[in-house]
Structure 1
Amino acid sequence: MKQEADKDQDKRGPGNQGGIKIHSPLFFLWQFLNVSPIKANWFCLPLTLLLIVGLVACSGKSSKNQANNSGSSGQNTDSNLTFYGVAFEQFDEVGRPIWKVNAKEAKYTKEKQIGQAENPYGELYQDGQVVYQIKAERADIEEDGKQLFLKGKIVATDPRNGIVLRGNELEWRPNEDLLIVRNQLNGTHKQLQAVAQEARVKTRQQRMEFSGGVVANSADPQLQMRTEHLIWHIKEEKLIGDRPVQIDRYKNNQITDRGRGNATEINLKTKIATVTKNAQLELLDPPMQIASNSMTWNMNAETVTTNSPVRVFHKAENVTVTANQGEMKIPQKTVYLTGNVNAIGQRRQSLKSRTLTWYLDNKLVEAQGNVVYRQVDPPLNFTGETAVGNLQTENIVVKGGNTGGRVVTEIIPQERAKGQ
C-alpha cells in the first residue's frame, strides 16, 4: 500500500499544485471502503498499520451508531464518512492558497459529492494574501474546488479594513474575485453600517455592492440611505446609488434634511452628496423644498447648489420661486437664484427678474435686472431695474436703477384684470 501511495505522490510531483488537501488520519478509510474520494490532492501524516485498522473499526462502529440513532433506514454507511480534526485547503495553479478551512468534524456524502464541515473557521485568499477571515455553523465544499459555500450563522471579517459581514449564506468564487454574502446580510464598519439581502465584494478593488432592501447608515456625516441597490467604494470612501434613493440627514439623532433622487453619489470624506434625476431636498428649518434635475448637497458647509433649472417652495409662506440655477445657504437661511427668476405668492402676485436674493428670516426679496412685478388685487404692474420688499404681503418697492431708467407703472382696468 505504501509503495502505491509513493507512486501516486511521484505522479503528482512537488508543490501540491491546483488541488484541495484534506488533512486527517482517516484518509486511509477511502482505500478500505473503496469509495472514490474528492478529485484533489490529499495529504496525511504517516500512521502505523495497526492504528489504521483501529480507526477503520471505530469509524465503522460510529457510522452504524449514527445511523441507528437517527432512525434512518436503508442508508449505505459506506457512502457517508466522518472525519475529525480536518483542514480543507484549496490552491491555485501556481500553488498559492485560495482558501483554508479548519473543522473539528467533517462529513463526505458520495451521492452529493459534497464535503460538509461543522463549525468551520479559516481564511479566504486572493493573490496569496488573506482577504477575509470566516467562520460559520456549516461549510459545503464542491467537488471541483472552484467554489466554497458556507451556510449557517456566518461571520466574515476583512482584516485589512475591519469590515465585518454577517449573513446566513456565503459563497467564495476566487476565480471571479467575488465574495457573496446573502440572506439577512448585516455589514458593520467604523464608517458605515448596512443591512440588505445580499452583498457582493470584489476583494481586489475593495468594492462592495449591496442589493435588496438596502438600509445604510453613515456615522460621519450622520446619514441614513434607503434604496434597492448601493455600491460602496471602500478605499475612495464613496457611496453610489443607481436606483431611487432616500437620504435622511441627522443632527443629534434628529432628522434635519431629507433628500431624494433616482441616482446619487456621496463622498464620505468630503461630505458632499450629488443627487441627480428628479432630485429633491426637503428642509425642516426653514420648511423648504428644493427640486431640480441635479443638485450638490454640501453637508459640511450646509449648502445646496444646482446648475440646472430649480424650483424652491416655502411651505409656510406658500411662495414658489423658479430659476435657471440657484444656491441655498441653510444656516444663513438665504437663497440665491439666477436666470429667468419667477417668484409667485399665495395670491398669485409675481416678481420676475434676472437675479433674486431671498432672505427667509426677514421674509425679504431683492430682485435685479428687468424686474416685472405684478399683483392681482388691486390689478397693476411695475417694471424697473430693481425691487425690494415682502412678496407675501405685496409690499414691493420697484426702482429704475442707477442709469436713469424710470419705473413704469401700469394700472390694469378691472374688466381687463378679470379677463386675464
Structure 2
Amino acid sequence: MPLPRPLLPLCLVLALTGCGWVDQWVGEEPSPEPEITGEVKLQNLTLRQTNAKGELLWLLQAAGARYRDDDRQQLEIQNLTGELKAEGKTAYKVQAKAVNVRQRDGQLWIEGRTTVTDLQQKGTIVADQLVWQGDRGVLIAQKNLQARYPQVTVTAKRLEADSQRQELRALNAVQVTSSAKEAKDLQLSTESLVWQQQPNRLLAGVIGQGGVTVRGVAGDRQGQRLQAQRAIWSISDQVVILEGGVQVQLPNPALRVEGETVRWLIPQQQLVSDRPVRVQYSTQGIQGQANRGVFLMAENRAIFDNAQINSQPQKAQLRAQRLNWWIPQERVEASGQVEIQRPNAHLRTAQLIWRIPQQEVEAQGGVFYRQRNPRIQIQGQRAKGWLDRQEVIVSGNVQSEVPLQLRLP
C-alpha cells in the first residue's frame, strides 16, 4: 500500500540514513516522486562523512544519483566532484562523470573512471577503482591507474597514496618515468616501489621479490640496461644507487659490468662503483676486474683502481694500481706498479700504454723485463714492444747506452 504523500520525504531520508551510508544527505527528489521499491533517484546530492572526532572524512557533490538498496547498497552517480579530507584538511579533490559509490566503516569506494588531484604534491591519479580510508589518510587506486606528478609518472596494478606520511607506494608491474631532462629517456620497472615525497626519492625493489630494471628507451640511451635487486633514485639530484647483483649492459660498445653496488650519476653520465666490479668486452675478447671503477659513459671511457685486464687474443694480462681505458679505441693507460705478462715474458714498470689492436706497449719508469726461454733479465727507464712480433726495445740506464733489442720466443 503506498505511503501517504506528506510522510514520503521523511521516510526516504530515514531509509537512506539508516543503512549506515552517510551522516548527512542533501538532495532534491525528482518529479514525479518515486515509490520506495529498492531504487531511488536523487538530484543535486551532497554526501558527508565524519569520524568519531567530528572531522570530515569526505565531502562530495553529485548532479544526479540513483540509489540501489541491494547487498552492495551503492549509489550510481553522475558528475561527481568533491574533497577527500585527512585530519580535517583537504588532501585530494575528486572528479568523475559516472561512477558507483558506496561506504562502510569509514571507507569510501568509488568504481569508475575517476581523477584525483593531490593538493600537496600537485599531481593527479587516474584509476577505475578507488578506496579512501579517511582515518588513515590513505588513498588506494587500482585498475588502469596512472599517477602523474611534476617529477615522475607511475603506472602499476595497485597504488597507495599516504597523505600523512607523504608517501606513494606502488605494487605489481610498476613502471616509472622521470620528467627531468636528463632522465626523460629512462624507464624504471619493478614489482614494488615507495616514493618518499618529502626527501623526494624512489625506493624500488624494497618489498618482496622481482628486482629492478632501468632501461634506456630513446635517444643516446637506447639499449642501455641496468638490473639490480634494489635501487634508490634521488629525484632532486638524479642519482640512482643500485644494490645487489648489479648488471649493466651498454650497447655501444657492447660492454657488460657486474658488481654489488653501482652509483649512477645521470646528469654526468657516470657509473661509479666503490666496490669490486667485473667487466666483459666480449666482442674483443677482453675481461677485467677492479676494486673500484668509474665509467664515463659519454666518453666511452673507464677508470679502474687496483685493476686487472685479460686479453684472450693477445694471451696477455695487465695489472696496475690505476687503469684508464678508452674502450672503443682499445687503448689502456696504466700507472702504479704496472705488470704485463705473457706465457713466456714479464714486464714491470711505473707507467704503461697498451694499444691493444696494434699489440703495442710503451713503458716508462723503472722498467724491469724478464723472460724464461732463453733466460733474459734486463732493467732500464723506457721500453717499447710489440706482442705479436715478440719484440721489445729497452733503453735508458741499461748495461749499454745503445738501445738493446731482444727477440722474444
The TM-score, its normalising length taken from structure 2, stands at 0.78
Q: Which residue of 1 aligns with 2:188?
A: 225
Q: Which residue of 2 aligns with 1:22?
A: none
Identify the match of residue 140 of structure 1 among 96, 101, 110: 101
Taking the aligned partners of 1:91 and 1:121, their CA distance within structure 2 comes to: 18
Taking the aligned partners of 1:180 and 1:384, their CA distance within structure 2 comes to: 64
After the TM superposition, which residues 84-99 of structure 1 pair with which residues of structure 2 at under 5 Å, given as runs?
Answer: 84-99=43-58
- Deviation, 1:383, is 3.3
- Deviation, 1:271, is 1.2
Taking the aligned partners of 2:369 and 2:227, their CA distance within structure 1 comes to: 43
Coordinate RMSD, CA, aligned? 3.0
Deviations along 1:245-299, one digit per CA (max 9) or x if unpaired, are 1112366486263211111111122111111111122223333222211011111
Is it true that 1:303 corresponds to 2:270 in the alignment?
yes
Q: Structure 1 residues 32, 285: closer, same or farther in 2, change over 3 A? A: closer
Which is helix-richer, 1 or 2?
1
CA contact (8 A) 2:21 2:102 kept: no
Q: Which residue of 2 aligns with 1:191?
A: 151
Q: Which residue of 2 aligns with 1:330?
A: 297
CA contact (8 A) 1:274 1:297 kept: yes
The SS at the match of 2:253 is coil
CA contact (8 A) 1:349 1:394 kept: no
Q: Which residue of 1 aligns with 2:354?
A: 389
Partner AA of 2:134 in structure 1: P
Q: Structure 1 residues 412, 363: closer, same or farther in 2, change over 3 A? A: farther
Identify the match of residue 279 of structure 1 among 240, 246, 269: 246
- Deviation, 1:180, is 0.4
Number of residue pairs matched?
359
After the TM superposition, which residues 331-346 of structure 1 pair with which residues of structure 2 at under 5 Å, given as runs?
Answer: 331-339=298-306, 341-346=307-312
After the TM superposition, which residues 54-69 of structure 1 pair with which residues of structure 2 at under 5 Å, given as runs?
Answer: 58-60=33-35
Taking the aligned partners of 2:67 and 2:258, their CA distance within structure 1 comes to: 60
After the TM superposition, which residues 133-282 of structure 1 pair with which residues of structure 2 at under 5 Å, given as runs?
Answer: 133-136=93-96, 137-144=98-105, 146-220=106-180, 221-222=183-184, 223-242=186-205, 243-249=210-216, 252=219, 255=222, 257-282=224-249
Question: Kindly, what percent of the aligned residue pairs are identical?
Answer: 17
Which is strand-richer, 1 or 2?
2
Deviations along 1:340-363, one digit per CA (max 9) or x if unpaired, are x22111323211223222123542
Taking the aligned partners of 1:283 and 1:82, their CA distance within structure 2 comes to: 62
Partner AA of 1:112 in structure 2: D
Taking the aligned partners of 1:325 and 1:35, their CA distance within structure 2 comes to: 68
Unaligned runs of 5+ in 2: 1-6, 376-409
Taking the aligned partners of 2:356 and 2:283, their CA distance within structure 1 comes to: 13
Q: Structure 1 residues 154, 231: closer, same or farther in 2, change over 3 A? A: same
Q: Which residue of 2 aligns with 1:289?
A: 256
CA contact (8 A) 2:26 2:47 kept: no
Partner AA of 1:409 in structure 2: Q
The TM-score, its normalising length taken from structure 1, stands at 0.76
Q: Which residue of 2 aligns with 1:102?
A: 61
Partner AA of 2:354 in structure 1: G
Taking the aligned partners of 2:15 and 2:171, their CA distance within structure 1 comes to: 46
The SS at the match of 1:205 is coil
CA contact (8 A) 1:230 1:241 kept: yes
CA contact (8 A) 1:192 1:218 kept: yes
